[in-house]
């Protein structure tokens, strides 16, 4: 498995571009995929891939748009495969599509079905693939020239996202409301519509992700990280771990997840 990342010139929209490749001697491949608080667009150039989400099989083929996932799921590649993907800033997909992003929660959907207009525009960019670097530059140009939906709601949610990031997820809804002059109901409604999850779920996921990134980078021990990220005891941490990872910490730490480790190394 090879996972390469590429720089982008539109960081207000794109978190990262990436290319994922599996060779013949690396398949069949299976891995847990942990949601990272981002929506994605992925084009599969060749190969048989699928996701299993809560016992439901979702083929990953052609050009797929992926919403926010709140829990991990299983990913399979059963043949040689190559794909190029785009991870969006949390509010970017709404700005591009002007569509309720919560409709995509926990789903991989064909872009041609979900948003035919964007698919018609973006199809030719994928078809012009020459290399990962070339594809990234082509998409920089593509996204730089889109008309975006920018309004007071997107501005407020961008502020909320920045507050969550700056605090490493150690923040409450009340803390956010102190910085944004909107009601809690408006925050809840608009955050879910624009980002794809409620702010409470997003904060909880973001905090857990920060802990896992630091653990995988071997910055410190799990015990110290639990304290650092506000888990008051091991059972509290284990509860969140089972929620997001669909397995116990003991089970997870006995296994090797090369795809997860590659993703965390890039964060």
Q: What is the rounded average pLDDT for all residues in the chain? A: 92
Rounded Cα distance between 128 and 188, Å, is 40
Q: What is the pLDDT of residues 84-98, one digit of tens each?
A: 999 999 999 999 999
The pTM (predicted TM-score) of the whole model is 0.92
* Lowest mean pLDDT across 91-95, 241-245, 263-267: 263-267
Q: What is the pLDDT of residues 98-141, one digit of tens each?
A: 999 999 999 999 999 999 999 999 999 999 999 999 999 999 99
Q: What is the pLDDT of residues 20-44, one digit of tens each?
A: 999 999 999 998 888 889 999 999 9
Q: How far is CA 21 from CA 52, 91, 153, in A?
A: 20, 28, 38
Cα-Cα-Cα-Cα torsion 145, 151, 154, 156, nearest 10 degrees, comes to: 140
Output the pLDDT for position 234: 82
Question: Does the pLDDT at position 183 exceed 70?
Answer: yes
Q: What is the pLDDT of residues 209-229, one digit of tens each?
A: 888 888 777 767 777 888 788
Domains of the chain plus CATH, in order, are 2-144 (2.60.120.10), 152-266 (1.10.10.60)
Output the pLDDT for position 219: 64
Rounded Cα distance between 146 and 134, Å, is 19
Rounded Cα distance between 202 and 228, Å, is 19
């Amino acid at each position: 498995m090879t996972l390469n990342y590429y720089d982008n010139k539109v960081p207000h929209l794109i978190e990262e571009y990436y290319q994922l490749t599996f060779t013949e001697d690396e398949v069949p491949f299976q891995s847990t995929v942990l949601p990272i608080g981002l929506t994605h667009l992925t084009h599969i150039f060749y190969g048989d891939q699928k996701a299993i989400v809560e016992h439901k099989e979702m083929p990953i083929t052609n050009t797929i748009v992926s919403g926010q996932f709140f829990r991990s799921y299983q990913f399979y590649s059963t043949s040689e495969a190559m794909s190029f993907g785009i991870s969006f800033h949390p509010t970017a997909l709404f700005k591009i599509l002007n569509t309720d992003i919560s409709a995509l929660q926990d789903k991989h959907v064909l872009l041609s079905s979900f948003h035919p207009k964007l698919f018609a525009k973006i199809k030719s960019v994928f078809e012009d693939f020459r290399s990962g670097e070339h594809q990234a530059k082509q998409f920089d140009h593509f996204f730089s020239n889109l008309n975006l939906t920018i309004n007071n709601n997107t501005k407020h949610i961008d502020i909320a996202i920045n507050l969550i990031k700056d605090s490493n997820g150690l923040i409450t809804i009340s803390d956010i409301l102190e910085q944004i002059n909107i009601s809690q109901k408006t925050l809840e409604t608009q955050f879910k519509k624009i980002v794809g999850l409620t702010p409470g779920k997003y904060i909880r996921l973001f905090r857990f992700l920060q802990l896992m990134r630091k653990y995988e980078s071997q910055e410190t021990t799990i015990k110290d990280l639990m304290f650092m990220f506000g888990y008051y005891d091991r059972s509290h941490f284990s509860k969140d771990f089972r929620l997001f990872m669909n397995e116990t910490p003991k089970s997870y730490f006995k296994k090797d997840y090369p795809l997860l480790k590659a993703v965390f190394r890039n964060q």
